[in-house]
Amino acid sequence: MIPRQASDSVKRLAQQFPVIAITGPRQSGKTTLARMVFPEKRYVSFDDRRLRELAKENPLDFLGAFPDGVIIDEAQKVPELFDALKLIIDNGAHFPGKYILTGSSQFRLRENISDSLAGRVGLVKLLPFSINELKTEKLLPDSPYDLAIRGMYPPLNDPQKHFLRDDWYENYINTYLDLDVKDQINPTNLMSFRKFVRMCAVYSGQILNYEEISRDIGVSGVTIKSWVSILEASYIIHLLEPDTNNLGKSLAKTPKLYFVDPGLLCYLLRIDSKEELLLHSKKGAVIETLAVSELLKLRYNMAKRSELTYYRDSSGLEVDAIADWKKQFAIEVKSNMASEKKLSAGVRKYQTLRGENVNGCVFYLGDLSCSIDGIQYVSWKDWGDFDWKEV
């Protein structure tokens, strides 16, 4: 099993909170992570109908059968469990890290956590593998384009499994629609929602235009906004909000959309090979999507908020990502192989506008990370483990 960078965060939170919840998209390795970090704990899955019925009938007795705690997979299938957990935690001694919850349906799991376990749960968001995780296990391909095509989901990067990329992603989308989305939308809109998901792929790396998507899909703008929220809540996409610092300019007010995984994005765009990607009009957007997903993983693996925005003003100046961490970083993503000084023009202009200590970075596709005139040029192989200096 590939060690996950989120393990340390899970252990840290488990020393404080009685319940740990590991959320994230389907097939991101949530159950594997839980069992890896807590090998001594009993494991149960509510995919088992018998266990599910037992827990529903008397959740307090069910939990009492595990005095040393338990890992509960598919916890959202027994909503009664969450009130029982609340009672046990509030009326008993404080035992950090006693209960570990995971689940594939993020809507129901997060809803139950919010309703019953607020303030009692340590939350970790687990996304698919990071570049650094693959690099550490010598599973990183030689080309960033090959990586983007394949994607980062664990089953597609497991040497012992032999999934064909297109078959796996087709099954993934069908499972997502059948098990997650059906409960969230009008069933008559399911085909429109599938079309909407493909439409979103066209917008990855771009500012959202709800009205345009609404016209193309044939549903209301309100519905489109609701569907965007569904995709975001299930970790299919991430919205990067515009930077709100006051620079005396007219700033963009609409978020940019990014897919969480570049492989799923390429599949939806019908890009099937490195050669197709190299010549595709969306090549830059795919590489930008890969970069933003690595920034998200960096933060989520530390159990921290992303604190990522983007900057665009009326003069045309744009910076792909502004990371407002312990130090602030202005990050530009380029699908260039050479570390040319001109690639940092936008970052340098932003630094001048801010008039304060903003670290400039250029993410590019070369193999060497280096510094040129105070700007860090970060190789794609180092996007996941660049020295962010106390991020």
Can you tell me the distance from the alpha carbon of 124 to that of 21, in angstroms, rounded to the nearest whole number? 6
Q: Please check whether residue 352 lies inside any domain of the structure.
A: yes
Do 101 and 153 have their domain in common? no
Q: Please check whether residue 28 lies inside any domain of the structure.
A: yes
Do 154 and 183 have their domain in common? yes
Q: Please check whether residue 260 lies inside any domain of the structure.
A: yes
**Do 89 and 119 form a contact (C-beta atoms < 8 A)?**
no
| The amino acid at 292 | V
Do 176 and 101 have their domain in common? no
Can you tell me the distance from the alpha carbon of 305 to that of 359, in angstroms, rounded to the nearest whole number? 20
Distances, alpha carbon 343 to alpha carbons 45, 55, 95, 340, 371, in Å: 50, 58, 52, 6, 13
Do 211 and 102 have their domain in common? no
Do 189 and 102 have their domain in common? no
| Domain extent for 355 | 131-382
Q: Please check whether residue 1 lies inside any domain of the structure.
A: no
Can you tell me the distance from the alpha carbon of 317 to that of 355, in angstroms, rounded to the nearest whole number? 16
Last residue of a domain, one of 125, 146, 165: 125
Q: Please check whether residue 341 lies inside any domain of the structure.
A: yes
CATH code of residue 29: 3.40.50.300
Largest CA distance in the chain: 66
**Do 209 and 203 form a contact (C-beta atoms < 8 A)?**
yes
Do 180 and 294 have their domain in common? yes
Do 175 and 272 have their domain in common? yes
Q: Please check whether residue 106 lies inside any domain of the structure.
A: yes
Last residue of a domain, one of 125, 156, 180: 125
Per-residue pLDDT of the chain (391 residues; tens, 9 = 90+): 789 999 999 999 999 999 999 999 999 999 999 999 999 999 999 999 999 999 999 999 999 999 999 999 999 999 999 999 999 999 887 899 999 999 877 777 878 787 778 889 999 999 999 999 999 999 999 999 999 999 999 999 998 999 999 999 999 999 999 888 888 888 889 999 999 999 999 999 999 999 999 999 999 999 999 999 999 999 999 999 998 776 656 577 899 999 999 999 999 999 999 999 999 999 999 999 999 999 999 999 999 999 999 999 888 889 999 999 988 999 999 999 988 888 999 999 999 988 778 999 999 999 999 999 999 999 999 997 766 654 4
Residues 6+ positions from 197 with CB-CB distance below 8 Å: 173, 231, 236, 268
Please state the domain count of the chain: 2
Do 274 and 202 have their domain in common? yes
Last residue of a domain, one of 125, 151, 182: 125
Q: Please check whether residue 387 lies inside any domain of the structure.
A: no
Q: Supply 137's token pair.
A: 């296990």
Backbone φ/ψ region at 27: left (φ over 0), alpha (ψ -120 to 50), beta:
left
Do 115 and 67 have their domain in common? yes
Do 179 and 50 have their domain in common? no
Q: Please check whether residue 282 lies inside any domain of the structure.
A: yes
123 forms beta bridges with 21
How many other C-beta atoms lie within 10 A of the C-beta of residue 269? 20
Do 185 and 216 have their domain in common? yes
Q: Describe the crossing of helices 7-14 and 30-37 by its angle, rounded to 10 degrees.
A: 60
Residues 6+ positions from 126 with CB-CB distance below 8 Å: 4, 6, 22, 23, 24, 28, 29, 30, 33, 300, 301
The three-point CA angle 191-192-197 to 5° equals 100
Do 329 and 373 have their domain in common? yes
